[in-house]
Structure 1
Amino acid sequence: MRLLTSITVAALSGLAAAAASQQSADVFILDSKQQQQTSREVPRLPKEVVRHILLQRTSRDNYGSDLRDIPSSIDTEAAISFLVKYGKSPAPLFSQTETSDPSQLVVILEGITAENAGPLKESLAKSSQRAAFAISDPPSKVANDRLMSLFQNLGIAAPKQCDLVSAINPVNGDCWTGSSSVVKYDVQKSPEALDTLVDNLSRLNKFISSGDLEALLVLMPESSRSSKLNQWSVKAATGASDLRRRFNSETVIADDSVRGAANAATQPPVSRPTKSPLQTAAKKAIPQCFTSEKSCVDQTGNCSGHGQCVNKWGGKNGSTEAGGASCFVCKCLATMDNRPGAQAKGDKSLHWGGNMCQKEDVSMQFWLIAGSTIALIGAITFAIGLLFEVGEEKMPGVLGAGVVRGSSAK
């Protein structure tokens, strides 16, 4: 009997240890919509799907949309539904207007326990913010470091010296180089990071409620630190170049391509022309705000030469108030049209648009042509209708009587 009891206790202890080792990681999505769960049960997602959600929300080139490294054990349709539900909303397909999407922030906190996460979860609960989903199999610290290396190669990881107070401010140039930023802190080594997040949660909610920021908090449990899962994905890529290489590896090479590659190998390399600063800045993501006028001028090429950098949060004439925040953006102006034949046609000025004033604004010409076309079609339709109405009118009674008498006399 004692032997059976000891075996039962050992089995239960083993199950408890296995359950503790498989503790899930809660993920909170903080946005202006504040997604509410329809049920009390929090969905549990595999780490491979969560990795794609993080990439889709933060990467600028849609690296999170490639689901080829999802294991066959995971239903692809279910993975796509989770990506649509928890990922970033896609831009309209045929939209030509510039959309100011909120900046994306991902905060990964390692070493979370039930004790140290209590104040944070209580503060989130006061704001009616519950965990959006949980990672069913959180990987180890090694996997988290590799994931940060991937974000570093994509150019969206914040510097290691970036503190949490600066990270939650999307205007801060020390932690933000574009429209997204990813930071990671170890709560066991830096417990002040968790306290700082709790103290600045109201400040974070102000950026979120104004539509300037969306945040995703990943609470990695302490039990996952020594997990045997050393990758976020079975076929995890180590950087942006690996992702591009995987896409290019599926391209079929024709005979002409092989001959062209052989000829290119025998020819000396051709020197490529250097790109202008404006072309380099156009390929990079332009932040919504610049902290200084100099950074605005340098990164936008002085608004492409078609405008000027002004502080939209300043006072009159763009002046910055004492102690106030700065947000320098491009204000597009009209320029003289020096193209050949422009003066002869009567076109004296050009209007510009875009976040760098790099696009010609043709809305005036569009509405002029569209309005003239609609007016012309309306006039032609009215004239045709008027002709039909005149043709369908009956003849006067006097003319009708004359016709009847003439026919009776015959």
Structure 2
Amino acid sequence: MRFLTSITVAALCGLAAAASQQSADVFILDTKQQQQTSREVPRLPKEVVRHILLQRTSRDSYGSDLRDIPSSVDTEAAISFIAKYGKSPAPLFSQTETSDPSQLVVILEGITAENAGPLKESLAKSSQHAAFAISDPPSKVANDRLMTLFQNLGIAVPEQCDLASAINPVNGDCWTGSSSVVKYDVKKSPEALYTLVDNLSRLNKFISSGDLEALLVLMPESSRSSKLNQWSVKAATGSSSDLRRRFNSETVIVDDSVRGANGAAAPTQPPVSRPTKSPLQTAAKKVIPQCFTSQKSCEDQTNTCSGHGKCVNKWGDKNGTSKVSGASCFVCKCLATTDGDKKSRKMKHWGGNMCQKEDISMQFWLIAGSTIALVGAIAFAIGLLFDVGEEKMPGVLGAGVVRGSSTK
């Protein structure tokens, strides 16, 4: 009897351990759809997945600090995963500045095999499969701390936002910039999962138009009470106090000759007054949304496209009617301007999300093309001269020279 009891206990412990190690599937919905070459889904540690989430939602270029990656994971492999599943980089050479698609991260907690069935079936019908899986999904406490990190980094984290509104990148209640992160507990709010299934076709319309990229994280119910309370052990909380602590710990190295009597560093020169910036430069540094809900808000926040363009509906037709029902996306359409009088009139082209940058790509390609053509012509002429000089004299001229010398 004791033997059977011990076997039963061991089996139950094995099942509990297997349940606690259940991975979390992650779906990447974009235009390239992250096709898998094999049926095996790669399993990534939570530290690498955290960098992928930060890289996709970061407004500026994300500089990853891989010191929190565990030693069991190769650094080069971690970098390759971040580059593969992260946000697509902007093209290196482009004549016009293109707007990147908005980034949406949806974290669903309390996922089980039963409630996730309809969602995975709907995704499979659209040929959308799990890109990778989190091998060690952390607890609910870690997810709350991750949301705090996103909020401290200036990423939109709307608390009261239904999923139907969250997938619309022009919704002002859920989007304040180019990225948004939302989290729902399916156990407490099962309607969130049903809403996602019902609005999956609408979500794919935004993705196919190139205006949105979404990342779905399905956190299993077994991870709710996990002992892993951090996505990264060495991860910073993202608060400004950590930056101040790092700044205060650094000291300025100066020569002893410039130190005062009390040992403090004496100023070597008076403080230089910084030039005041124009309102246009200040407005260019503020975050400009990917889309504006109305033409008036677009003109007010962009100063009528810096006076170099006009606000148009990106999703509208020639008459201005929106092609997508219930959505409008007003952006700046840059136009050419002329400076000077009639004799010295000069046309300028503009670019940027506010038409605040002068487009000099045409002048660049004109100078570069002319230089390449001139160098090529000179090289061709020199090569032609060398080929002519190396040719042998014709046989007729050689015979005449020999006959003349014999008559003498």
Shift of 1:196: 0.3
Deviation digits for residues 164-219 of structure 1 (CA, Å, limit 9, x no counterpart)? 11111122232222222111111122211111001001111122223222211111
The amino acid that maps onto 2:132 is F
Q: Where do residues 5-404 of structure 1 align in structure 2 (5 Å cutoff)?
A: 5-63=4-62, 65-92=64-91, 97-239=96-238, 241=240, 253-255=252-254, 277-316=279-318, 318=320, 325-337=327-339, 346-374=344-372, 376-377=374-375
CA contact (8 A) 1:314 1:321 kept: yes
CA distance in structure 2 between the partners assigned to 1:63 and 1:377 by the alignment: 40
Q: Helix, strand or coil: the match of 2:37?
A: coil
Residue identity over aligned pairs, in percent, reads 82
CA distance in structure 2 between the partners assigned to 1:54 and 1:46 by the alignment: 13
In structure 2, the CA distance between the partners of 1:372 and 1:17, relative to structure 1 (3 Å rule), is: closer
Shift of 1:48: 1.1
The amino acid that maps onto 2:116 is A
Shift of 1:139: 1.3
Deviation digits for residues 345-394 of structure 1 (CA, Å, limit 9, x no counterpart)? 83433221222212212233334434544555566567667877888899
TM-score (norm 1): 0.83
Shift of 1:23: 2.3
Using the TM superposition, name which of 280-289 and 225-234 deviates more.
Answer: 280-289
CA contact (8 A) 1:106 1:181 kept: yes
The amino acid that maps onto 1:15 is G
Q: Helix, strand or coil: the match of 2:66?
A: coil
In structure 2, the CA distance between the partners of 1:125 and 1:383, relative to structure 1 (3 Å rule), is: closer
Shift of 1:60: 2.0
In structure 2, the CA distance between the partners of 1:289 and 1:394, relative to structure 1 (3 Å rule), is: same
Q: Helix, strand or coil: the match of 1:27?
A: strand
CA contact (8 A) 1:112 1:221 kept: yes
Shift of 1:276: 5.2
In structure 2, the CA distance between the partners of 1:368 and 1:82, relative to structure 1 (3 Å rule), is: closer
The amino acid that maps onto 1:329 is V
Deviation digits for residues 10-66 of structure 1 (CA, Å, limit 9, x no counterpart)? 121122222223322111111222223333332222111111111111112344622
Deviation digits for residues 272-328 of structure 1 (CA, Å, limit 9, x no counterpart)? 777555334423443332211122223323212222212233344646689663221
Q: Where in structure 1 are there 5+ consecutive unaligned residues?
A: none
Give the RMSD, CA atoms, in angstroms: 3.9
Using the TM superposition, name which of 6-15 and 381-390 deviates more.
Answer: 381-390
What is the number of residues matched between the two proteins? 405
In structure 2, the CA distance between the partners of 1:355 and 1:4, relative to structure 1 (3 Å rule), is: same
CA distance in structure 2 between the partners assigned to 1:257 and 1:393 by the alignment: 75
The amino acid that maps onto 1:32 is T
CA contact (8 A) 1:352 1:360 kept: yes
In structure 2, the CA distance between the partners of 1:394 and 1:119, relative to structure 1 (3 Å rule), is: closer
Using the TM superposition, name which of 192-201 and 39-48 deviates more.
Answer: 39-48
